[in-house]
């Protein structure tokens, strides 16, 4: 009896210390809302709002060309291939018409990161008595570790691309379902699926499993709410699916180009590093242990969603690792893996809020397991220490309340609000310190080359460039024969992409190193062939890497890192302002 009384008294103290679901006063609500808002803004800044980096180029070029036909005039990729993700192309075109696409797309990425953080707070509030500590924990892990998973899959990036839009929409849909809001959940899944076909297919798989696991009397209603928007969302993708499925032989021929040459990091698990698997596995184990300890707290839909995600990843392992099937790999089921990582972050973080309910042996099991996971993950030691600090605060608040003076109990909640505010301000400072908001940091030598190409070559000029110089198109607006990043989607175009690389490099190409190594041997004879085949006027090379003999070609630009050569047969009729070129070397042959 005495022990029961002590437990009740202890719970009462903990309730005052870490909060209840009782409605607080307006000042407390305002303070909490302000702290959460600052943390969300800081998370958005820390996540990044860059423009023109990573894989951004392949999603921007078609829309920018449609908004301004002079941009990339004569470029094969921008003018003769279909745009990646048509609805996203509409966003790029609208951003280009604004005159500041970098600002519009950067802000959209900030909005997407903010929506992600809002969804996380809503999920934490669904399962926590006081969501502040779990919310801070998930944002800390997501911002510093990232939500990467096998197959280079992710939800957020530092630049706005279709997968970011659709990934955040899928997360919002999941949170809606956690609150029993089927209509908004289905609508958000449909919006994400309309933007990205992967989310259309995989979202349908996840909801299909959830519906099958639901009670029989609910299945029809749930199926209508969740699948009706997906039917409408499929309409923008009909023409694309028709174009890739029209010729089975062409599709079979192009499949190795896309899966094995261009993107094995997405589709061939045998190429993935062991660290990717260990990180993923450790977080799933830690999350599973924490979730098992809190198994009485989860709703039926939460269990169904996690089970559906596990089923999709189980199929991915079975048919992309154990018995590889290209049709399954093409659906990219690993895109659902980051949601399992996020679920593990959430389970471990919510566990902190309920730590006072855990017996000592569970705390002794889970805390070291999370510590080992943090230590083995690709995460900085300062982040591990911050997370362990949150765990210590929660542990001390819940299990050692009797040792805390009254002043500590009164200041615990304001202290947590201060942590959120300071963390948010640090995120803003970190984002601004990166100096890449609404742009991308370009090396000085590349920037000088791009400036020269814009200033001293006419619109429609075609360049041959090193295949890994991916920023060239976006920064110069000039056409190129081919680069590595911008891979078209239709099978025939993918075969043409490889043919251009092999003709430009003079060798068989199986990876980007082959393409770059072959380009480094480009000589005057092969340059003449490129001029005749693709109307190439200029050749850009990296001085340190190039071994081909370009003697006889006129050097139009030279810097410490780059040189640009004119092909006389292609430019004889064009005027050149050679005397004005920055760091210009007179029209001499390369020694």
Helix ranges restricted to H, 128-181: 132-145, 162-178
Query: Taking the mean position of all CA atoms in its chain, how far away is CA 431?
Result: 17
Q: Write out pLDDT tens, residues 118-135.
A: 999 999 999 998 898 899
Nearest to 590 by CA among 523, 531, 514: 523
pTM over 0.85: yes
Cβ atoms of 119 and 339 within 8 Å: the answer is: no
Our measurement of the distance from residue 348's CA atom to the centroid of its chain's CA atoms, rounded to an integer in Å, reads 23
CB atoms within 10 A of CB 549: 13
Q: Which residues pair with 153 in a beta bridge?
A: 149
Residues for the chain: how many in total?
591
Q: Tell me if 555 sits within 8 A of 590, measured CB to CB.
A: yes
Phi, psi of 464 (to 5 degrees): -105, 130
Q: How far is CA 277 from CA 202, 295, 329, 341, 376, in A?
A: 21, 26, 17, 12, 12
DSSP 567: -
Q: Which residues contact 189 (CB under 8 A, 6 or more apart)?
A: 169, 170, 173, 199, 203, 207, 226, 229, 230, 233
Structure tokens at 99: 């005159």
**pLDDT tens series, the chain, 591 aa:** 444 443 434 444 333 333 444 456 777 788 889 999 999 999 999 999 999 887 888 899 999 999 999 999 999 999 999 888 889 999 999 999 999 999 999 999 999 999 999 999 999 999 998 898 899 889 988 887 777 788 889 999 999 999 999 999 999 999 999 999 999 999 999 999 999 999 999 999 999 999 999 999 999 999 999 999 999 999 988 887 777 766 778 888 999 999 999 999 899 998 998 888 988 998 999 999 999 999 999 999 999 999 999 999 999 999 999 999 988 998 999 999 999 999 999 999 998 888 777 777 777 788 777 877 776 766 655 566 666 666 665 655 554 444 455 555 556 677 778 878 888 888 888 888 777 778 877 889 999 999 999 999 999 999 999 999 999 999 999 999 999 999 998 999 999 999 999 999 999 999 999 999 999 999 999 999 999 999 999 999 999 999 999 988 999 999 999 999 999 864 433 433 333 333 333 333 333
The answer to whether 488 and 81 are in contact (CB under 8 A) is yes
Instruction: Identify the three-state secondary structure at position 556.
Output: strand
Contacts 24+ apart (CB under 8 A), 379-383: 379/144, 379/145, 380/144, 383/140, 383/141, 383/144, 383/145
Confidence (pLDDT) at 143? 84
Cβ density class 365-400: b for 16+ within 10 Å, e for less: ebbebbeebbeebebeeebbebbeebbebbbbbbbe
Q: Provide the 8-state DSSP code for 586.
A: P
| Local structure of 153: helix, strand or coil | strand
Contact 104, 67 (CB under 8 A): no
Q: Could you list the beta-strand ranges (E) of 506-550.
A: 538-542
Task: Give CA–CA dist 494/253, Å, rounded.
Answer: 10
Q: CA 571, CA 573: separation in Å to the nearest integer?
A: 5
* Cα 323 from Cα 247, distance rounded (Å): 25
Q: What angle do CA 295, 300, 304 make, to 5 degrees?
A: 100
DSSP secondary structure letter of residue 356: G
């Amino acid at each position: 009896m005495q022990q029961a009384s002590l437990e009740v008294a202890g719970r009462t103290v903990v309730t005052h210390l870490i909060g209840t679901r009782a409605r607080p006063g307006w000042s407390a609500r305002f303070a909490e809302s302000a702290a959460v808002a600052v943390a969300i803004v800081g998370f958005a800044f820390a996540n990044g709002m860059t423009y023109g980096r990573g894989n951004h180029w392949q999603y921007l070029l078609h829309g920018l060309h449609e908004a301004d036909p002079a941009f990339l005039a004569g470029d094969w990729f921008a003018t003769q291939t279909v745009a990646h993700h048509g609805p996203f192309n509409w966003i790029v075109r609208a951003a280009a018409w604004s005159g500041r696409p970098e600002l519009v797309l950067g802000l959209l990425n900030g909005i997407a990161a903010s929506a992600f953080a809002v969804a996380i707070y809503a999920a934490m509030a669904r399962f926590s008595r006081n969501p502040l500590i779990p919310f801070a924990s998930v944002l800390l892990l997501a911002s510093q570790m990232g939500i990467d998973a096998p197959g280079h899959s992710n939800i957020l990036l530092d630049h706005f691309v279709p997968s970011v839009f659709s990934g955040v929409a899928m997360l919002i849909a999941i949170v809606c379902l956690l609150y029993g809001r089927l209509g908004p959940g289905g609508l958000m899944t449909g919006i994400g699926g309309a933007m990205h076909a992967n989310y259309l297919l995989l979202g349908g798989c996840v909801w299909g499993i959830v519906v099958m696991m639901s009670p029989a009397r609910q299945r029809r209603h749930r199926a209508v709410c969740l699948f009706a928007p997906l039917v409408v969302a499929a309409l923008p993708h009909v023409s694309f699916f028709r174009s890739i499925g029209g010729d089975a032989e062409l599709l079979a021929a192009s499949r190795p180009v896309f899966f094995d040459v261009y993107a094995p990091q997405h589709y061939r698990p045998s190429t993935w590093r062991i660290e990717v698997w260990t990180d993923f596995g450790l977080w799933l184990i830690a999350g599973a242990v924490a979730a098992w300890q809190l198994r009485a707290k989860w709703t039926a839909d939460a269990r169904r969603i996690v089970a559906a995600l596990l089923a999709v990843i189980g199929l991915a392992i079975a048919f992309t690792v154990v018995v590889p099937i290209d049709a399954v790999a093409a659906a990219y089921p690993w895109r659902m893996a980051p949601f399992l990582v996020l679920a593990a972050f959430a389970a471990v973080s919510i566990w902190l809020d309920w730590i006072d309910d855990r017996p000592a042996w569970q705390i002794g099991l889970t805390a070291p397991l999370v510590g080992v996971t943090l230590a083995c993950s690709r995460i900085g030691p300062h982040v591990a220490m911050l997370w362990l600090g949150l765990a210590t605060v929660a542990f001390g608040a819940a299990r050692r309340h009797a040792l805390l003076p009254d002043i500590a109990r009164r200041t615990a909640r304001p202290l947590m609000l201060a942590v959120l505010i300071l963390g948010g301000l640090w995120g803003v400072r970190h984002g601004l310190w990166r100096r890449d908001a609404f742009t991308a940091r370009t090396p000085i030598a590349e920037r000088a080359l791009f400036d020269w190409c814009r200033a001293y070559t006419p619109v429609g000029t075609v360049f041959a460039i090193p295949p890994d110089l991916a920023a060239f198109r976006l920064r110069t607006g000039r056409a190129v024969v081919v680069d590595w990043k911008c891979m078209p989607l239709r099978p025939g175009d993918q075969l043409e992409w490889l043919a251009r690389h092999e003709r430009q490099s003079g060798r068989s190409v199986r990876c980007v190193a082959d393409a770059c190594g072959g380009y480094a041997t480009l000589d005057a004879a092969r340059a003449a062939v490129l001029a005749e085949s693709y109307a190439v006027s200029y050749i850009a090379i990296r001085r340190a890497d190039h071994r081909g003999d370009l003697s006889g070609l006129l050097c139009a630009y030279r810097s410490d890192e780059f040189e640009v050569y004119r092909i006389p047969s292609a430019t004889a009729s064009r005027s050149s302002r050679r005397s004005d070129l920055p760091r210009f070397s007179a029209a001499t042959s390369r020694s």
